[in-house]
Structure 1
Amino acid sequence: MNKSTEKQLPRVWFITGISRGFGRELASAALEQGDIVIGTTRKGSQDIDASSSRLHVFQLDVTQHRDVDSVIRQAWQINGRIDVIVNNAGFGVLGAVEEVEEKLARDVFETNFFGLLSVTQAALPHLRAQRSGHIINISSIGGIAGSAGYGLYCASKFAVEGLSESLASELKPLGLHVTIVEPGYFRTNFLSGDSLLRAGRAIEAYEESSGKTRKSADERDGQQPGDPVLAAKAIIAVTGAENPPLRLVLGADAFERVRAKLSQVAEDLEAWESTSINTAFPTPLADTKPSAAPA
């Protein structure tokens, strides 16, 4: 069941990072169906459809928290409401945990996690006031299943997932929804250019783990099986659901990795059940003294 009985089009979207990747495709898909899109890019420019009166673009670096507050206020003033917040801005880091320098590690958290947090916190007072809305947090299959070579990127997305789960519980009584999107490999420019930064050094000892991931990223670039246009349509479908999921896994590759992760967790739980549960203080023995005889 969709929300057509509750809301009439056009809906209003606020999407960070619409210059490329999922953000660009999602903005295009929303515009195509007649919705209004308020998008952000670092440079304030885009190439989606500059002639559309339903597209509004703000220059925003989500790591600049004061600017986030200002842009959110301006965005709400355009139509008096926003129906869907999409936290999409972010980038990847490729390199073994030991290889990634501290500054790069902090930078990826500053954008992927703290930038998302800043947008969310700025939007929440408005969403609470209108008592409706849907927050879409773009995570990754790396947010639920870690892999060699993506440790810092996965860590930032694991943080997004923990935040989103808690936020969903907090907002449910208010009639607000949260969905975490977990894509696998999609044919965007994520594996090249500014979207995927690489550690400045490669340690030979990790050649058989993160080293293989580096090579795989080069080989996969431009060959990813996922169609980002179809991913955008899937995200839009979720925002129209009466009971949207907490998680939306996108791609057969991501789907299988989630299944494998769940199986691994279940196996570890079963194998170590006795050790896990036998960690409490001893239960006090019940009072065994005979009760007094009745008078």
Structure 2
Amino acid sequence: MRRKAAGGRSAPPEEGGSGGGTPPTVVLVKPQLGENIGFAARAMANFGLSDLRLVSPRDGWPNQKADAAAAVAAPIVEAAKIYASVEDATAELNYVLAATARPRDMVKEVLSPESAALELVRRSMRGERTGVLFGAEQSGLDNDTITLADAIVTAPVDPRFASLSLPQAVLLFAYEWLKGQDEPLSLGRATSCDGPAAEGVALTDTRPATRAELFGLFGQLESELDRSGFLKPPEKRARIVRSIRNMFHRMGITEQDARTWRGIVASLVRRDRD
């Protein structure tokens, strides 16, 4: 059963996010396509937002295309609240941003998505309820709607093509919101097999090589290169050796890498001697 707002006010659904405050509400003003509502819900779910509000959706509500596009984020679509006006949709919010790509002839603070997210995090930690308005696909937010917001949020984009689709705009904002949390973020999907991803090179069944393992590889490799004549003439040997060693240092090789390289050298030497 779809939740419809009564008197412009209703309790928010169970919300995600972290950091101790209430995540911001996403308000889609006169959205046109059900698919875009569903894709926006998916973007919200990806980054810990769940309170979706719709102001006068063009194609009515409920909308089967929104359900299909939302996929696993369908609960956000199911819980979406419908309002007749932006005033009703934001009535109990303390601080509201308006997402727009166009410069406006009005005196109003302008924030990047990153700065906007940090401001919303700060306000949510103080117990404020916050929200972001996103306009219709074809025309965006009109000036009268923007005057209802405390500030504008706009993304750094190529000025030759500054327009974002509705789901893109929601995703960009939601991503910055999650980044602004105090808790460290894992990357990608955590599984029971390998846990969450982390930035950097993932070392699963190995570890960084020790100096002794590197020196053993260098000794074997340089000995065979001396034998093959690669390190000649003698006056250039030191420079070539340094270059080779620095190459391996830049790789940041693991102990498995060192063993593999030693096996490669031994295999080539055996072949040469057979």
Q: TM class, shorter-chain normalised?
A: under 0.3
TM value normalised by structure 1? 0.25
